[in-house]
A and B are shown apart, each in its own frame.
Chain A
Amino acid sequence: MLSRTAENLYWLARYVERAEYLARTIDATLRVTALPAAYIGKTNEWDSALLTAGVAASFYQAYEEANEHNVVEYLSFSPNNPSSIRNCIEAARLNSRSVRTALTSEMWDTINSAWIELQAVWSKGTSTREDLAKFLRFVQETSLRFDGSAYRTMLRNDAYWFSRMGVHLERADNTARILDVKYHVLLPEEEHVGGPLDFYQWSSILRSVSALTAYHWVYRETLKPWLIADLLILNDTLPRSLASCYGNLVRNLDQIGVAYGRQGPAQRHARGIRNRLEHSNMNDIFQHGVHEFIQEFITDNSRLGEIITKQYLI
């Protein structure tokens, strides 16, 4: 397929995934900040939201204070934030238009309808909490519908694999960023002094990657920080864990390698990251330092993005 087509499919999937992640982040932050101060401590959760979205620096160029109004505005609707939800959907639609021939009509319809709704209903942003909740649900449903139609209607060929790679690479990045911002509340067992404060922080992390229920099913335990870290990093049954994302990335890259009869640096690099995740356990990671581990992962992950681009997309 055309390199440009592959590139568009890959970025289209990334934009949709990113929009959903931003919606989840806002949603989780709204829940935490609705709690009495005694339950959440002194950290500014809206600041954390900016950090996990990776846009804190550009935000402070435009705003003084990270409060609900400003952050919701910036993450959701701001035309000046290249990865605001609005811009993600706009970019997804533009990408879809340029690769219409590679999309199924269901996928196109999802993105086009979302874009139409964005203009018709949400062009002025949201003014009430209720509106905002509706908007966030709309974004998450768009992503679910997009993902579902890709899964149910696309041919299993390179177009599908490039699009899936976009999803998994973006997802891995998002999960890693939450961990990066929140690692300080995920301490190893012996250092942990539990309290209501941490409990809400932990459940907020899980909520932002839609893993709160999953946690209980996997561990049948009350919330424990090292188990949360285990779930998000190493447990490959959780679709948003780093291990699961890399299992999928390696698989998609292998499928492309087989179809094209050729492997390359992207396959090798992805396998390297996957192997490291497979052979790690939480003890080692805590010893090595969660923060360092995550930082390294984020760098490695974005490096994979560059390698894929060089090998296939230009």
Chain B
Amino acid sequence: MAVAFDEMNIPGGDLRPAYQELARWLKETPPEALEYRRQEAELLFRRIGITFAVYGEAESTERLIPFDVIPRIMSGKEWARLEKGLKQRVRALNMFLRDIYHGRDILRAEIVPDDLIFQNPVFRPEMNGQQVPHDVYVHIAGIDIVRVDAEDFIVLEDNARTPSGVSYMLENREIMMRLFPDLFARHKVTPVERYPDELLAALRSVAPQSASGEPTVALLTPGVYNSAYYEHSFLADKLGIELVEGRDLVVKNNEVFMRTTEGLKRVDVIYRRVDDDFLDPLTFRPDSVLGVPGLMSAYAAGNITLANAVGTGIADDKAIYSYMPDIVKFYLGEEPILKNVPTWRCREPKDLAYVLDNLSELVVKEVHGSGGYGMLIGPAATKATIEAFRDKLKREPEGFIAQPTLALSTCPTCTASGLAPRHVDLRPFVLTGSKSTTIVPGGLTRVALKEGSLVVNSSQGGGTKDTWILDE
């Protein structure tokens, strides 16, 4: 693997301009002071209760996501380009979804194969012909971005269902400002705190026609045992909306109400953080206790807006991912600004043959997996693991895609032996309302804390950093 692109240091000893002030500050700051602030940050996180649960561990385990106090910095110019690319990508995702659940031009044009849609478990036939307000399906998108050089931004993954992590973007900034006021004084960092306002505005803008002038928005959470529960309560609080569970909602005459101390109150928009499968036991999984019986019929009647819409999984599916550049071109007639990682579709015999021959150099992902689970990282895997994967691949090739191992960019990070480069990615959050698409400058930077590791997922030893976009 080639030497990774470092976002601070240029080979030969120079610094990239965005990091010059930080480097000066780091030189002036003794390592003990940095360590002290790091401990303080951890204490703050624990006291505020910013924790997440790791599935598969004892139910009561609440863990902190490690926080790295060294910010990741991007220039305003870099951000402007990324922002343009993100807006383009999300516009295309929304148009693709509208098309898939209505006219299906893209299938007729044979750009995406039919069976990838219709045989896909995340395709929702219930959505066929269903109108959603202003044709917005993906109101909140989290697009995972990686860099391998100074020029390109590459999309690693689109998250169009219930992307999480934005609370960390906001809390990381709060804590950084509390711990390092001097460092902020030396930079012009674009603020992120208007995200909740923009989210609320976007959600209200897509209220159904039958809603009153002041639509009521609620956030639907699976409950306190969900791994992202902290984020749900944090956002409800910042938005000033009720945090509801399925049992708080009831459907009557195809309208959705919440049970309040003053009786039933109509809800117009649900920012739902519950997966499609669990939304309505009458339509989807009958064993779901997290959902609301009848919700889908209220949805079909146009009396409630769900954000994100039902069935958006078909747009961020890993099998669809490889078609995204064509999807962008098809709907917008533009060249995609953001690149895709070159992807081999194991469903295609030629690609499969290549993948099987080169397993030890590739990353192989399950088409329907997420969170970094069920994935093979060829260069880091043992022979036995690779052979086991080879069997899986042969048995069910359509369940996998493969990509080259990317040398993700690195950023300086606190480690046991001082500052050292660690691999990072970035998840910006793209909001789409009735009129506009907005992105708060920055996003959530995830960092693989283990030396050499490329896995940034919090469930597997990843941490986070504050992300600074400089206002120049």
**A interface residues, Cβ below 8 angstroms from B:** 1-6, 94, 97-98, 100-101, 105, 108-109, 112-113, 116, 158, 162, 256, 260, 262, 312-314
Contact = CB atoms under 8 A, between A and B. Distances in A.
Contacts of A101: 233, 236-237, 242-243
Nearest to B218: A2
A158 B49 contact: no
B47 A4 contact: no
By CB atoms of chain A within 10 A, which of B48, B234, B236, B261 has the most?
A: B261
Interface string B345-388: 00000000000000000000000000000000000000000000
A230 B417 CA distance: 69
Contact of B47 (A112, A158, A312, A314): A112
A97 B49 contact: yes
A98 B223 CA distance: 7
Interface of B: 46-49, 223-224, 229, 233-234, 236-237, 242-245, 247-248, 258-262
Nearest to A111: B49
A109 B260 CA distance: 26
B223 A6 contact: no
A3 B243 contact: no
Contacts of B224: 94, 97-98
Contacts of B229: 97
Contact of B259 (A4, A97, A260): A4
By CB atoms of chain A within 10 A, which of B233, B237, B245, B259 has the most?
A: B233
B259 A3 contact: yes
Chain A at the B interface: mostly helix, strand, loop or mixed? Answer: helix
Nearest to A4: B248
B132 to A, nearest CB: 26
Contacts of A108: 49
Nearest to A262: B262
A256 to B, nearest CB: 8
Nearest to A113: B47
Nearest to A6: B261
By CB atoms of chain B within 10 A, which of A94, A101, A313 has the most?
A: A101
A2 B244 contact: yes
B243 A109 contact: no
Contacts of B237: 100-101
15 contacts: A1-B261, A2-B242, A2-B258, A2-B259, A2-B261, A3-B260, A4-B245, A4-B259, A100-B237, A101-B243, A116-B46, A260-B261, A260-B262, A262-B262, A314-B259
Nearest to A158: B261
A256 B260 CA distance: 13
A98 B230 CA distance: 9
A4 B46 contact: no
Contacts of A314: 259
Contact of B248 (A3, A112, A256, A313): A3
A109 B47 CA distance: 7
Contact of A1 (B236, B245, B260): B260
Contacts of A6: 261
Given A97-B224, A101-B236, A158-B261, A2 B49 contact: no
A108 B233 CA distance: 12
Nearest to B219: A101
Contacts of B242: 1-2, 5, 101
A38 to B, nearest CB: 48
